[in-house]
Amino acid sequence: MNSLFNSVNPLLENLPRAGVWLRAVNLICLVGAVISIVAILVHWNQHRAARDGREPGRNVMARVAFVTLLAAAAVGFVQVWFRYIEVNHFPSQTMSEVLVMFSLALLVSMIILHLAVNLERIGFGWAIVSDSLLLLVFSSVLLVNHYSSTLSSAQKDLPPALQSYWFPPHLSALMISYATLGIAGLACLIYFAVRFWDGVHHGNKTRVSQVLILLGLLLVPFGHLVTIPILLLVGLVFLVLRVTGKLPQPEAMVQLEKTMDQVSYRYFSVGIPFLTAGLFMGAFWAQEAWANYWGWDSKENSALITWLVYVIYIHLRMLGGYRGEKAMAVLAGGALSVFLTFQVFGYLPDSQKSLHRYTDDNVVPREGMQGAASTDDRAARLDDTK
């Protein structure tokens, strides 16, 4: 807990400017998470008042939460600027820098999604969903930045292949796509959690979604940090509703699931163009760096699989008529593929010969080479760095 406290304390001694601003972002996100909880409670009271025919009033806290989101993003850009000055290049060389860029992309993506979708216009119930997603984003940024602070933050010079004008736009497009599609994945988890607890409280037979939830808890690497909290939080909400005798009827649940499906699709629609642009820019960049648009590198293949999963989702939704549980399952699979490409890739056996392992501290980049490097090549390159 002490290290977590330090990650929200910008007044620590001997911190570089980028470190001070990063902890300021964390502090703002912590405050934003608390404000989001208050906004949820206010929207809940407004929902009850509107249902009972009373004047619902205004929810100032929801606007304060959004302003806090804007402030966190603005401070995040300042942090990136100071990190740029410190390392003298676009700060996405080390894994700690990449994770900080991802957390900033989460904030920017949530701003875009809030303005593009604006769930509050649908009704007070959907405003609660919006506040909940905002709470999850604030919490995710705080945890991601805290984890990044445990990694090495030493300055590293860019290898020749990364000294390109393609570096900032390629990484930025992918980070925004990963963040936006990740938020769509959070919406899928909420959807499956709602179906799970609805089946439990109404005594329905086991659904495919319930099985997917259980598999997610067992197999998804970040299940303990994301899936379990969402499942428990939704379960607590259902328990309170049942105790107070306000459990939604099946007709209301059908409408809820339908709207969640539409919301997740809108979130996906914002993210997929950025993912596509990132892939194309990566191909053009590879042609300049390695004289090969596509070398069937394991990282390239993993990114292509992720893109194809989302293409399949589009086709199944548009041509196959997939809606609800089926569409959400495919969309959740895309979010899992994003995570595998972004974080788990480095632990896969085939990744050891990849040309894309620039963020690993113990790996010497193999510039201009296709295929696996021999032991002698690696030894020679290590000698050159001494």
User: pLDDT by residue (tens digit) across 74-86?
Assistant: 999 999 999 988 8
Inside any domain, residue 305: yes
Inside any domain, residue 326: yes
Inside any domain, residue 318: yes
Quickly state the pLDDT bin for 107 (edges 50, 70, 90). Answer: very high
Question: 95-99, 101-105, 305-309, 352-356: which range is least confident on average?
Answer: 352-356
Structural domain count, the chain: 2
Inside any domain, residue 97: yes
Choose the final residue of a domain: 153, 184, 215: 153
Do residues 264 and 338 share a domain?
Answer: yes
pLDDT tens for 336-347 read: 888 888 777 766
Q: Which domain holds residue 10?
A: 1-153
Do residues 135 and 34 share a domain?
Answer: yes
Question: 77-91, 247-261, 262-276: which range is least confident on average?
Answer: 247-261
Average pLDDT, the chain: 78
Residue 127, pLDDT > 70, answer: yes
Do residues 184 and 132 share a domain?
Answer: no
Do residues 130 and 192 share a domain?
Answer: no
Q: Percentage of the chain surpassing pLDDT 90?
A: 15
Do residues 133 and 195 share a domain?
Answer: no
Do residues 1 and 51 share a domain?
Answer: yes
Inside any domain, residue 379: no
pLDDT tens for 155-199 read: 777 777 777 888 889 988 999 999 899 888 888 888 888 887 877
Do residues 169 and 125 share a domain?
Answer: no
Looking at residue 190, its pLDDT comes to: 83
Q: Percentage of the chain surpassing pLDDT 70?
A: 76
Do residues 298 and 180 share a domain?
Answer: yes
Do residues 77 and 118 share a domain?
Answer: yes
Choose the final residue of a domain: 124, 153, 182: 153
pTM: 0.79
Inside any domain, residue 290: yes
Inside any domain, residue 104: yes
Do residues 223 and 337 share a domain?
Answer: yes
Looking at residue 324, its pLDDT comes to: 78
HEC sequence for the chain: CHHHHHCCCCCCCCCCHHHHHHHHHHHHHHHHHHHHHHHHHHHHHHHHHHHCCCCCCCCHHHHHHHHHHHHHHHHHHHHHHHHHHHHCCCCCCCHHHHHHHHHHHHHHHHHHHHHHHCHHHCCHHHHHHHHHHHHHHHHHHHHHHHHHCCCCCCCCCCCHHHCCCCHHHHHHHHHHHHHHHHHHHHHHHHHHHHHHHHHHHHCCCCCHHHHHHHHHHHHCCCCCCCHHHHHHHHHHHHHHHHHCCCCCCHHHHHHHHHHHHHHHHHHHHHHHHHHHHHHHHHHHHHHHHHCCCCCCCHHHHHHHHHHHHHHHHHHHHHCCCCCCHHHHHHHHHHHHHHHHHHHHHHHCHHHHHCCCCCCCCCCCCCCCCCCCCCHHHHHHHHHHHC
Inside any domain, residue 377: no
Do residues 148 and 226 share a domain?
Answer: no
Do residues 206 and 306 share a domain?
Answer: yes
Q: What is the mean pLDDT of residues 57-72?
A: 86
Choose the final residue of a domain: 153, 186, 203: 153
